[in-house]
């Protein structure tokens, strides 16, 4: 069973023969499909697919940001965990948090405007 969110996560390579982008897309789709009905964000963050995304390491940050641009969702904890940063001002809405992370991604060169 994956470590609960906040536990130390060891980066793992994607399954043999699968690149990190395909692995991320597969896990993100699984996470969305299997947690869309969860009302508690914490429960969504504990899902095995989300935990496996964290284990892929910082190389997935651009992929998460791209996903967030296309389908805003609860990627904030993953981004904080993977980057050690949090550009979201206190009291922000979900939309404001998405905007803050996307601006951060552009400023850091993870995304093109």
The DSSP output letter for 9 is -
pLDDT for position 64: 97
Average per-residue pLDDT for the chain: 86
Measure Cα distances from 106 to 61, 110, 112 in Å.
Answer: 12, 6, 6
- Mean pLDDT lowest among 7-11, 23-27, 61-65, 69-73: 7-11
Q: Which residue has the higher pLDDT, 88 or 39?
A: 88
pLDDT in tens, 6-58: 433 334 455 555 699 999 999 999 999 999 888 888 899 999 999 999 999 99
């Amino acid at each position: 069973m994956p470590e609960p969110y906040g536990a130390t996560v060891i980066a793992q390579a994607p399954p043999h023969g699968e690149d990190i982008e395909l692995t991320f897309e597969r896990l993100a789709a699984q996470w969305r499909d299997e947690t869309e009905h969860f009302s508690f964000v914490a429960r969504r963050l504990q899902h095995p697919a989300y935990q496996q995304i964290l284990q892929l390491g910082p190389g997935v940050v651009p992929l998460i940001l791209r996903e967030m641009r296309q389908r805003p969702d609860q990627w904030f904890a993953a981004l904080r965990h993977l980057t050690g940063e949090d550009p979201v001002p206190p009291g922000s809405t979900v939309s404001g948090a998405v905007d803050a992370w996307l601006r951060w991604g552009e400023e850091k060169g993870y995304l093109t405007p």
